[in-house]
Structure 1
Amino acid sequence: MIRKKIENMEESIFICGFMASGKSTLGKALAGELNFEFVDLDQLIEKREEKSIRQIFREKGEAYFREKEWEYLLDLTRNFKGVVALGGGALQNQRIIDHLKVHGLLLFLDTPMEVIVERVYNSEERPILFNESGKIKSKETLFTELKTLYSEREEFYKQAQITIKTPLFTTVQEMAEAAKAKITRHV
């Protein structure tokens, strides 16, 4: 019965959450668990633009990146069924959230800020890690900026139909199984 419900799902599952919350990691595991295809929106943008996100931000600015992000997301909602890991800032306005909820399930991956700061600090691919001179920010500065940015986006994340709190799980597989169970109850 559960397998039939999942197989008959006609919509995608969009994983949202703050940067470095583990959306891609959970997305891959969940796609495997559901026997769905997986797409990482940030990787799709990098492939189609032939530049890293950091390069896009540096060369063309955030506004250009957000425009492309929306364009590729619209394309996915029309032509793809599976699990999609969104970028941390993909939910920029109510129109995007409403659109995604019409075309699928929105799953919020809720990860503690301390974990996020550590992950961002250890990844040189994150544009927010660097100041205007290209130097790595202090952890304190990074924490303050990330906390502020998160508070601006939180109202959008919390509109997801499903929430997964990462500290409740010891493995990604456990998290994927819990997400599958919640999705099954929702469809």
Structure 2
Amino acid sequence: MIVVLIGYMASGKSTLGRILAKKLNYDFLDLDDYIEEKEQLLVSDIFKSKGEIYFRKVETLYLKMLLENNTKLVLSLGGGTPCYSDNMNFIRNTVKAKSIYLKASIPTLVSRLKTEKSKRPLIAHLETDELLTEFIGKHLFERSQFYNLSEVTITTDNKTEEAIIEELVLKLF
């Protein structure tokens, strides 16, 4: 089985994905890290030098390749991955894949993201919590229609990592 973790940035996809993979004795991959390795460029540099259209094309290419050629994998997607190139339908139609939406509320996301804005080009320019809240709310509204197509939704607010992992394992098997 391939566990595909979907959700907004800072929803816990990479952190929880690593823990889950270790618990299941699966491999773990973060799609953005994989793209950076294959393209020999940071995602932010791909956007700057080659543009978003190029990035979305290679993102879809690598996503499909990983879903077709792996088993026993926990795959953490970028926040936008399910929203482009019919990626969500491809994930849903991959028999060995199980999609999990890690859902976090806007206040939780703001709390997690306000300390790491400098590492996230999409939000680095947002100077106040109010602007960050507004941006996340708008973005989440646009993306939630794709996220909600996941087979399983797990809310991550006010839960320990251990509790979330336990819930994930129960929903998977």
Same fold, judged at TM 0.5 (above): yes
Does 2:55 correspond to 1:65? yes
Partner of 1:118: 111
- 1:108/1:158 Cα in 2 relative to 1: closer, same or farther (>3 Å)? same
Instruction: Give 1:33-44 correspondences, 5 Å limit.
Output: 33-44=23-34
Does 2:81 correspond to 1:90? yes
Q: Classify the secondary structure of the residue corresponding to 1:106.
A: strand
- 1:125/1:54 Cα in 2 relative to 1: closer, same or farther (>3 Å)? farther
Q: Classify the secondary structure of the residue corresponding to 2:89.
A: helix
Give identity over the alignment, percent.
Answer: 33
Q: Retained in 2: the 8 A contact 1:108–1:160?
A: yes
Partner of 2:35: 45
Please give the alpha-carbon distance, in whole angstroms, between the structure 1 residues aligned to 2:68 and 2:137.
34
Please give the alpha-carbon distance, in whole angstroms, between the structure 2 residues aligned to 1:168 and 1:129.
23
- 1:70/1:162 Cα in 2 relative to 1: closer, same or farther (>3 Å)? same
Partner of 1:18: 8
In structure 1, stretches of 5+ residues that fail to align are: 1-10
Q: Retained in 1: the 8 A contact 2:18–2:28?
A: yes
Please give the alpha-carbon distance, in whole angstroms, between the structure 1 residues aligned to 2:49 and 2:131.
24
Partner of 1:107: 100
Question: Which residue identity lines up with residue 122 of structure 1 in the other structure?
Answer: T
Question: Which residue identity lines up with residue 54 of structure 2 in the other structure?
Answer: Y
Q: Retained in 1: the 8 A contact 2:56–2:84?
A: no
The CA deviation at 1:147 is 1.1
- 1:30/1:117 Cα in 2 relative to 1: closer, same or farther (>3 Å)? same
Q: Retained in 2: the 8 A contact 1:30–1:177?
A: no
Q: Classify the secondary structure of the residue corresponding to 1:129.
A: coil
Please give the alpha-carbon distance, in whole angstroms, between the structure 2 residues aligned to 1:51 and 1:137.
27
Q: Superposition RMSD on alpha carbons, in Å?
A: 1.7
Please give the alpha-carbon distance, in whole angstroms, between the structure 1 residues aligned to 2:158 and 2:109.
16
The CA deviation at 1:31 is 1.0
Partner of 1:6: none
In structure 2, stretches of 5+ residues that fail to align are: none
Please give the alpha-carbon distance, in whole angstroms, between the structure 2 residues aligned to 1:56 and 1:121.
24
Instruction: Give 1:169-180 correspondences, 5 Å limit.
Output: 169-170=159-160, 172-180=161-169
Please give the alpha-carbon distance, in whole angstroms, between the structure 1 residues aligned to 2:84 and 2:43.
20
Q: Could you say which structure has the larger radius of gyration? A: 1
The structure carrying a bigger helix percent of its residues is 1
